[in-house]
Structures are given as C-alpha cells and as structure tokens.
Amino acid sequence: MDEFSIRPARVEDTRRIGAVGHQAWLKGICPYVCPEVRERIAPKTFELFARTHTNQVIVAEGDGNLFGFAATEDGDNYISDLWVAPDFEGYGIGTALLSALEEIIADRGYGTARLEVLTDNQRAVSLYRYLGYRIVRQGMRKDKVLCVTLHKTLMQKAV
C-alpha cells in the first residue's frame, strides 16, 4: 500500500465513509450481535452518521481510496468511531487516525481521550491497551445505535 494522509471529512466523502464503516462493522462487530441487530446496520447507517457529523469526522485516504475514518461525535474527548476497511488493516491506519484524534482532543483542552469497545472484541481491546489506553470500567451498557445491551469496556488515555 502507498502512503496515506489524514484530513477532515467532507460531505462528498459520506458515501465512501458509509461503505468503509459497514465493511469494518461486518468484520469487527457483527460477529458479536444477534441477527436482528445485524439486519439494522447498513452502509446508509454510517453514511448518515458522516453526513450529520461531518465536522467531527477525520478520514485516512491515499491513491484515491478512503481507508478508514474516526470521529468524536459530540466534539468532546470521547472517540465514538474508529473504522478501517478490512483490506487495509495492519498498515497503521487505525493508529494514525487515533493519534490524530488524540491531538484534536488535546487541542480542545481535554487531558484524556476516552473510548468504549465491545469487551468480546479482544483484538480491539488489545490494540487500545498497546497504544496506552487503560481500562476504566467494564459492564453491561445499552448501545444507543444498536439498541441492545452489550458488555462494554470503557478505556482512557492521557493526551
């Protein structure tokens, strides 16, 4: 893979963000939820999110491809989204997106970055721990997008 860069999302990115988010969701989250939940999530789910939160989304792109995106949905220190297209995992894209969001969060005046991950998604938990995040809390929480209660791990890191 060639070089990639991180930049703020634009409205014209929303369709590609939808496709990348859905591909990543199918690989990373879909195996942990019931069939009824799987049916509710589609590329349009991510596209709508990107369209309504464009100013809070950053993307990784290169060679005309969008490789991944990340967001702080409410413009605070909570990282609500980090998605990398499965074909481009392992190239440092997720780490670069996370690092860029941590800088944005620090520039906003926050001393920590926070995120939440499915506890069963040990691959993600391990990555975040490797990148300096520590577990703050684990337990059952209702996911506002999926509308189901899941076991989640809240993590944070000083920025």
pLDDT tens-digit map of 7-39: 999 999 999 999 999 999 999 999 989 898 888
For the whole model, what pTM was predicted?
0.94
Q: Are 44 and 25 in contact (CB under 8 A)?
A: no
**Owner of token pair 């792109």:** 61
Of the candidates 41, 129, 46, the residue with the CA atom closest to the CA atom of residue 82 = 46
Specify the length of the chain in residues. 159
Distances from the Cα of 81 to the Cα of 10, 22, 94, angstroms: 16, 12, 11
* pLDDT confidence bin for 1, thresholds 50/70/90: low
Phi then psi for residue 118, to 5 deg, are -60, 130
pLDDT tens-digit map of 123-139: 899 999 999 999 999 99
Residue 94, classified by CB atoms within 10 Å of its CB into exposed (0-12), middle (13-18) or buried (19+), is buried
